[in-house]
Amino acid sequence: MQKLSLVAAARQQLEAAAREPHGRSAHTVYGGHEHVLRQTVIALRAGESLSEHENPGEATVHVLHGRVRLVAGDDSWDGSTGDLLIVPPTRHALHAVEDAAVLLTVAKIPG
């Protein structure tokens, strides 16, 4: 059994994002490309985004700190600390309304 503090991981990624010129930082805390399940802590400085991309499988965004907006076409969903956003199975983007850290969980669709 392993234990991980998501609070500490979010803080570390927020600190790293503050140092990066592109204002983003990420670290996979469980799984990876060779697994079905992957969980990644992602930090974005206010105003930064993960540009529009395809959904590789079922996915959720758990907001660990701050506020984000998930956008898919004409639809958008706002999330703040503690919220869980279900990522739609379409092209989407994630924007940081304020400095934010999220736990992205993806279960890849086999294929």
Domain-embedded: residue 92: yes
pLDDT score at 54: 81
Domain-embedded: residue 54: yes
Each residue of 80-105: pLDDT tens digit? 999 999 999 899 999 999 999 999 99
pLDDT score at 36: 86
Domain-embedded: residue 22: yes
How far is Cα 91 from Cα 43, in angstroms, rounded to an integer? 20
Domain-embedded: residue 1: no
Lookup: tokens for 36: 């079905």
pLDDT score at 8: 97
Full domain range(s) for residue 37: 6-108
Q: Is the pLDDT score of 109 beyond 80?
A: no
The reported pTM is: 0.93
How far is Cα 37 from Cα 106, in angstroms, rounded to an integer? 6
Q: Is the pLDDT score of 111 beyond 70?
A: no
How far is Cα 2 from Cα 19, in angstroms, rounded to an integer? 29
Q: Is the pLDDT score of 11 beyond 80?
A: yes
> Looking at residues 58-70, what average pLDDT do you find?
97
CB 61 within 8 A of CB 79: yes
Domain-embedded: residue 79: yes
Domain-embedded: residue 76: yes
Domain count, the chain: 1
> Looking at residues 38-46, what average pLDDT do you find?
97
Which domain CATH number covers 48? 2.60.120.10
